[in-house]
Structure 1
Amino acid sequence: MASFSIPLSGLTAAQSQLTAVSNNLANLNTDGYKDQTVSFSDIFAQASESNGAGDPIQTGSGVNVAANDYNFTEGSISSTGVSSNMALSGDGFFVTKDATGQLDYTRAGDFTTNNAGYLTSPSGGLVLGYPAVNGVVNTTAALQPLKVTDVTSPAVATSDFTVSANLQAGTASGTSVTPSSLTVYDSLGQTHELSISYTSAGNNTWNYSVTVPSSDLSSGGTGTTQVASGTLSFNSSGQLTLPSGGNSIAISIPSGGTSGLADGASAMNLSWNLEDASGNPTLTQTAAASGTSATTQNGYSSGSLSSYQVEADGTIQGTFSSGTTLALGQVAVASFANEQGLSNVGSNAFQPTAASGLAVIGVAENGGRGSIVGGSVEGSNVDISTEFAKLIVAQQAYSANAKSVTTFNQVSQATIAMLQ
């Protein structure tokens, strides 16, 4: 009987809404949780009858649940200070892979690390991203789990160095001044002390000699071994006249007939840059006292990972004991044509369906994807006051439909009594 089926459908609909509200309130403190809203549609039976005006007579037959939608608006972002945590500000989903190889998509960035040093979700899924080799991220490579502990940076041999120094004008010919010295690194990360001595040759010219300790070479010995030499010329204003070959001097260690480095590293091919980044000569000849003000070089030894942080574009920057900072990888972010079409598989994870479309995976701050906030998590976007309002409405709807059932039951009992 319609008298009973209609309010029963109302009871079922109200129960669905109560269930959704209860679930929202239960996940009020769940990181990355998205509020659910139940939508309803009416049911009607279209009859072939019509009234005197020719309008069809349509009788309502109740209500059903039309949709259970997610509110994907951003929740509040809170700082945790935990390096492995991250939050998405804007559109997108983190990409994780479970033990079966299934890809899941989540907004919950309360990640930790497993005993192998990889970023994982609380349910154990591996956080995926793009790998980095020697600090360079390859965004064209296949997605891989991201490792953030027990990482060692490779040694990088010095290839360029710069010396900022002044050579005192008027120094007597044949007089040597305080040499410049700096530490450089070979391919194994071993340090070598490079020394550059300067001897006045008069007439605004200086002879230089570059040496390394003889013990650093396979030939061994005491003292130092010369690996380069030449002449530096200055104009009347004390500015360096660059060599005809360009703005740098090539130096090889070892050089000449010396066979190699004592530690077995590859030969070092250095470029002594005579200009800074702005194109200004780094060597001058003025009346000021001779001296070296600064040296720079681009090599470093190997080191163990000391700390890391996640940048806004998802790049994980690691700081190593050697003092270097290198990218460990870049967190992948996925977007979908229709987020409402995603299927909730639990544990704050979603999977694509035909309605959502396939995941478009890239990096943060690109292709409409949001940015990543490192050391933070996105909270639930459930609004407690809104949910309590929904709870009251759903309870009243349930009570009203229950009252209808009771009323129809009383009418039925009275009708049966009349027939007796």
Structure 2
Amino acid sequence: MKALYIASTGMSAEERNVEVISNNIANMRTTGYKRQRAEFQDLLYQQMRRAGSQTSNQGNMIPAGLEIGSGVRTVATPRVMSQGSVSPTEKDLDIAIRGDGFFMIQMPDGRTGYTRDGSFERDATGQLVNSSGFVLQPGITIPDTAKSIAIAPNGTVEATLGTDAAPTQLGQLQLANFVNKAGLESVGDNLFVETAASGTPQIGLPNADSNGDLLQGYLEMSNVNSVTEIADLIAAQRAYEMNARVISGADEMMQSTSQMR
């Protein structure tokens, strides 16, 4: 009975949906996290009677065909790249992006990672690094004598050095943008890498070149909405239960057939 296998694809798809939702809920407090959603497609159909087939020599045609579907599959889990809320931290090296753009991080394997997580620290040499110790690109070094570090909305980094009266510019932050942000590949540690689907990065200054501006002393929170996720979870659970009931019903029908005399 095909209903058994059709319903099993529904259960498998909803299981994947629940996994995506659970990952969103688990990352509700992850800085710069972008929620995912599961997308589905129906599977191939078996044509029992094809619409438009002739039924007589006079050219009469079947107005509606008879086709049986094979179920459903999960085809993608794209990320929703909407802006998350920004939260004050009162920390000089915390930076939130308000608008489009990603910080660029030099990964240990030589690749460039892209992130919305702007929680930076200084390493032993004074370079700005992320929480994993990966260097921010372009590299910016803040000397030990630096005081009153200021990061402007356009990415200019300044600080007062030693006994100097005037601030000194230490560097310029840049942002990367992509034509298809959903095409970025997640590699963990709040980092994405480019793919053929995302396109090449378009690097520019904050508050220019279609990039957002920067907020010093703030961090962008995740864009996960707990109420929406719980509602989606309940819907996924009910869909899973209904598919399981179809399997149970098909089993009872087969049992009734086997008991016929």
TM-score (norm 1): 0.58
User: Is 1:148 aligned to residue 142 of structure 2?
Assistant: yes
Structure 1 CA distance for aligned equivalents of residues 147 and 92 of structure 2: 12
Please state how far the C-alpha of 1:48 moved relative to its aligned partner: 6.3
Asked if 2 retains the 8 angstrom alpha-carbon contact of 1:10 and 1:63, the reply is yes
Structure 2 CA distance for aligned equivalents of residues 394 and 63 of structure 1: 14
Gap regions ≥5 residues in structure 2: 56-60
Q: Give the structure with the larger strand fraction.
A: 1
User: Is 1:340 aligned to residue 171 of structure 2?
Assistant: no
Q: What corresponds to 1:16 in structure 2?
A: 16
SS in 2 for 1:37: coil
Q: What corresponds to 2:58 in structure 1?
A: none
Gap regions ≥5 residues in structure 1: 130-144, 151-303
User: Is 1:370 aligned to residue 212 of structure 2?
Assistant: yes
Please state how far the C-alpha of 1:149 moved relative to its aligned partner: 3.3
Please state how far the C-alpha of 1:389 moved relative to its aligned partner: 0.4
Q: What corresponds to 1:66 in structure 2?
A: 75
Q: What corresponds to 1:320 in structure 2?
A: 161
Please state how far the C-alpha of 1:69 moved relative to its aligned partner: 1.4
User: Is 1:410 aligned to residue 236 of structure 2?
Assistant: no
Q: What corresponds to 2:26 in structure 1?
A: 26
Structure 2 CA distance for aligned equivalents of residues 86 and 334 of structure 1: 15
Structure 2 CA distance for aligned equivalents of residues 343 and 21 of structure 1: 18
- 1:8-407 matched pairs, under 5 angstroms: 8-47=8-47, 49-50=49-50, 53-54=61-62, 55-129=64-138, 145-150=139-144, 304-321=145-162, 322-407=164-249
Please state how far the C-alpha of 1:417 moved relative to its aligned partner: 2.3
SS in 1 for 2:219: strand
Q: What corresponds to 1:178 in structure 2?
A: none
Superposed CA offset, 1:59-88 (max 9, x none) = 111111132111111101111111111010
SS in 2 for 1:344: strand
Structure 1 CA distance for aligned equivalents of residues 2 and 113 of structure 2: 44
Asked if 2 retains the 8 angstrom alpha-carbon contact of 1:98 and 1:124, the reply is no
Asked if 1 retains the 8 angstrom alpha-carbon contact of 2:48 and 2:68, the reply is no
Superposed CA offset, 1:340-359 (max 9, x none) = 11111111111111111011
Structure 2 CA distance for aligned equivalents of residues 124 and 58 of structure 1: 57
Please state how far the C-alpha of 1:370 moved relative to its aligned partner: 0.5
Q: What corresponds to 1:225 in structure 2?
A: none
The higher-RCO structure (CA 8 Å, 6+ apart) is: 2
The letter of the residue matching 2:253 is V
Equivalenced residue count is 251
Structure 2 CA distance for aligned equivalents of residues 401 and 46 of structure 1: 20
Superposed CA offset, 1:259-282 (max 9, x none) = xxxxxxxxxxxxxxxxxxxxxxxx
The letter of the residue matching 1:410 is E
Asked if 2 retains the 8 angstrom alpha-carbon contact of 1:94 and 1:105, the reply is yes
Structure 2 CA distance for aligned equivalents of residues 377 and 73 of structure 1: 15
Structure 2 CA distance for aligned equivalents of residues 48 and 406 of structure 1: 26
Asked if 1 retains the 8 angstrom alpha-carbon contact of 2:29 and 2:221, the reply is yes
Please state how far the C-alpha of 1:406 moved relative to its aligned partner: 1.1
Structure 2 CA distance for aligned equivalents of residues 79 and 124 of structure 1: 23
Asked if 1 retains the 8 angstrom alpha-carbon contact of 2:153 and 2:215, the reply is yes
Please state how far the C-alpha of 1:49 moved relative to its aligned partner: 2.8
Asked if 2 retains the 8 angstrom alpha-carbon contact of 1:31 and 1:377, the reply is yes
